Structure 1
Amino acid sequence: MSEIVSATLAKEYQENGFAVAERLFDPSEVAELGNAITEILAVPDIGSVAEVEPGDKGMARRIWSPTQQHPAFERAAAHPGLLDHVEALIGPDILFHYSKLHLKAPQVGSVVDWHQDFAYYPHTNTDLVTALVYLDDTTVENSALQVVPGSHRQGLADHYVDGHFRGKVTGANAPDPALAVPIEAPAGSVVFIHCLLLHYSSPNRSDRYRRAFLPAYRAADAFPIHFGPHAGHNEAGVRLLRGAVSDTARVEAGAWRLPLAERPFGSLFQLQEGAHETATAAASTGYATTEASR
């Protein structure tokens, strides 16, 4: 990546809380990841590898830790071009944090309410970034990510409802819908999301899929300050991808409210929908207790 591209990306990220690299993954790489999804889901019980849509739809809406389930996703998370962009945003010492994969099926895909990723996994500093890799051409119609530019500079919003962490920003704390900006981009594009950026996605009302692979990264000197059941298990899979490990935690001033839910939960969807109040956190798969619950 050229110094000009690097500087432009970093400037956009610093100002807006997100930046977009169009077609960072070429069509053959996107096709490989699409084939990997098909292979992962080719099992008798989809619930053993993924979370399914509620009700009788029977469609997968999230694949647990895709980097653990198929080598194509492990390679994609360490893609040199992707890591070049991550380095421009959080520095040269990069740790892989976790991965997930959202599958928004046509006319089905679940809503993701307004939230900030940092609320789920507070760290000593905010040099954490998620790379949302669009695996389909993405528009508002098939649920493009929507964000509030600049919201990452406003600190951590309240994600509590009735005294318990619910992983979403609601009521008077929710952003004005008029401020939402959809991020539309072709397949292979990557949206880099600051951990304090307010974002959400609507249900998929189109006749097309909107699949997105989300590997997350953090600076080597960012250390977790919460080890609840939905966050602490990430540490077993954390690994150095570039640079060097750190023996020093860089600490930002501030107060981070911890994600203390009323009951354990297995995913962002389950928590935001309130399904965790009547279901066990382990859900129907062992991955629910070993995959990042976001």
Structure 2
Amino acid sequence: MPDTTDPFGLSEEESALLPTAEEVLEYAERGWYLSRRLFSDQELDALQAATERYYAGERDRELPARPPHLAAWTPADGPVQRHNDYVHYEHAEIGRILRKPLLGAVAARLAQAEEIRVFQATLIYKPPVADELSNVVPWHFDKHYWQTSTSQRMLTAFLPFHHCTEEMGTITMVDGSHRWEELPGGDDSTRHFAARDRAELDKLLRENAEFNGAEVRTVPVEIPRGHVSFHHCRTYHGSGPNRSAQPRRAVSLHLQDGSNRYRSFLKPDGSPVVYNHDPVVRRTADGQPDYADPEFCPVLWRSGR
């Protein structure tokens, strides 16, 4: 049984599921990691049922303000790929399942951090429509959109509700791309991939690879049910169309290490970057957005040692 004096304590069985020292080194080399089985069928069934109720309009609380770039699919948007941010905040059951300490402990070991907090949780539904353009996610890396965060160790856990295959449009990594030096220039990389031309992002990936003398090695990650794919915040990734007969359902759980803080960051035109958290989280003593606000950025795991 877990240590009941420590809310983040793991059982012996759970501890055996953590990455080995060799796997942590491989993550540092490749920029991504496929876990052992972290979630049971019962947990995933409950998570999918809760998300269906969420899609039907069930909420336990509402955001206090509407963030500037909120992903918030509604039925009126039609049969496109669905993205919904803040599901961990708005729906209690979804949040409860996602706040599994074991998930945080895996992330902490990969990031070599003493604490892991939620940064954002996005519910994703990729409909089984092979030619649906919104299903294709172009090459990008997450840190581009997190420039107001100080950390370079942030990472994302991609959790499908089912066995996730290349046919379904699983997440695909560009091996080792988190170690690339970024091509210098005036491009506004803070613009979300949904607001950019796919060909432009393909070209940017090729140019960055050439700048680093690197090969673009793409790896579609087949994820067995209950397993989780983790990737570094600077790892290029994307996903293809869903050619299967079933929807691809997943949560993209963005995670931050305990040292992450807000910082001011300017776009090339001199205007400030505003992350979605900035108008909704509490303020620090110096008046800055607090990315440790437990309501929006709860702790998943903290070292007891």
| 1:159–1:166 contact (8 Å) kept in structure 2 | no
In structure 1, distance between residues paired with 2:261 and 2:182: 17
Whichever residue aligns with residue 240 of structure 1, its letter is: V
The answer to whether residue 300 in structure 2 is matched with residue 241 in structure 1 is: yes
Match of 1:18 in 2: 32
Q: Which residue does the alignment assign to 2:41?
A: 27
1:132 maps to 158
CA distance in structure 1 between the aligned counterparts of 2:17 and 2:47, rounded to whole angstroms: 29
Q: Give the aligned residue type for 2:257.
A: A
Aligned partners of 2:145 and 2:190 also within 8 Å:
no
In the TM superposition, what is the alpha-carbon distance from 1:151 to its structure 2 partner?
A: 0.4
Q: How many Å separate the matches in 1 of 2:34 and 2:173?
A: 12
How far apart are residue 102 of structure 1 and its match? Answer: 1.0
Gaps of 5+ in 1: 245-294
Following superposition, the deviation at residue 49 of structure 1 comes to 9.0
Q: Shift in Å at residue 52 of structure 1?
A: 5.2
Match of 2:171 in 1: 145
Task: Report if the CA contact (8 A) 1:50-1:60 is conserved.
Answer: no
Structure 1 residue 115 corresponds to structure 2 residue 140? yes
Does the 8 Å CA contact 1:53/1:59 hold for their aligned counterparts? no
CA distance in 1, matches of 2:71, 2:151: 32
* 1:229-263 deviation digits (Å, cap 9, x = unpaired): 3344364522333338xxxxxxxxxxxxxxxxxxx
- Do the aligned partners of residues 30 and 240 (structure 1) sit closer, same or farther apart at CA in structure 2, a change above 3 Å counting? closer
Change (3 A) 1:206 1:72: same
Larger radius of gyration: 2
In structure 1, which of residues 209, 216, 219 is the aligned counterpart of residue 254 of structure 2? Answer: 216
> What is the aligned residue count?
239
Contact 2:154 2:255 in 1 (8 A): yes
Match of 1:73 in 2: 94
Q: Quick one: structure 1 residues 183 and 148, their matched pair in 2 at CA, closer, same or farther if it must change by over 3 Å? A: same
CA distance 1:241–1:186, change in 2 (3 Å)? closer
Distance between the aligned counterparts of 1:158 and 1:71, measured in 2?
Answer: 43
Asked if the contact 1:64/1:100 (under 8 Å) is kept, the reply is yes
SS of 1:222's partner is coil
1:173 maps to which of 173, 188, 204: 204
Moved more, 175-184 or 127-136: 175-184
CA offset at residue 164 of structure 1? 7.2
- Write the distance in 1 (CA, Å) between the matches of 2:202 and 2:49: 41
Residue aligning to 2:226: 188
State the match for 1:250 in structure 2: none
Q: Once the two structures are superposed, what CA deviation does each residue of 1:180-218 show, in whole Å capped at 9, x if it has no partner? A: 110011222101110000000112122111111122211
For each residue in 1:108-157, what CA deviation from the matched residue of structure 2 results, as whole angstroms up to 9, or x when unmatched?
Answer: 46211100100001232311011110112111111011111100000346
How far apart are residue 158 of structure 1 and its match? 7.2
RMSD (Å) for aligned C-alpha atoms: 3.1
Shift of the 74–232 alpha-carbon distance from structure 1 to 2, 3 Å rule, reads: closer
TM-score normalised by the chain length of structure 1 = 0.71
Measure how far apart 1:75 and its partner are: 1.8
TM-score normalised per structure 2: 0.69
Contact 2:105 2:301 in 1 (8 A): no
Counterpart contact for 1:52–1:59, Cα < 8 Å: no
1:228 is aligned to: 273
- Encode CA deviations 1:59-88: one digit per residue, 9 max, x unaligned: 561123110232232123321221220120
175-184 or 107-116: bigger deviation: 175-184
Identity of aligned residues (%): 25
Structure 1 residues 3 and 138: CA distance shift in structure 2, 3 A: closer
Which of 114, 118, 121 is 1:96 aligned to?
Answer: 118
Q: Which of residues 54, 66, 73 in structure 2 aligns to 1:51?
A: 73
**Counterpart among 188, 205, 222 of residue 243 in structure 2:** 205
Query: How far apart, in 1, do the equivalents of 2:233 and 2:80 lie?
Result: 28
Distance 1:29 1:178, change over 3 A: same
Matches of 1:125 and 1:80, distance apart in 2: 21
- Structure 2 stretches lacking a partner, 5+ long: 1-14, 59-69, 194-199, 210-214, 266-271, 282-290
SS in structure 2 of the partner of residue 73 of structure 1: helix
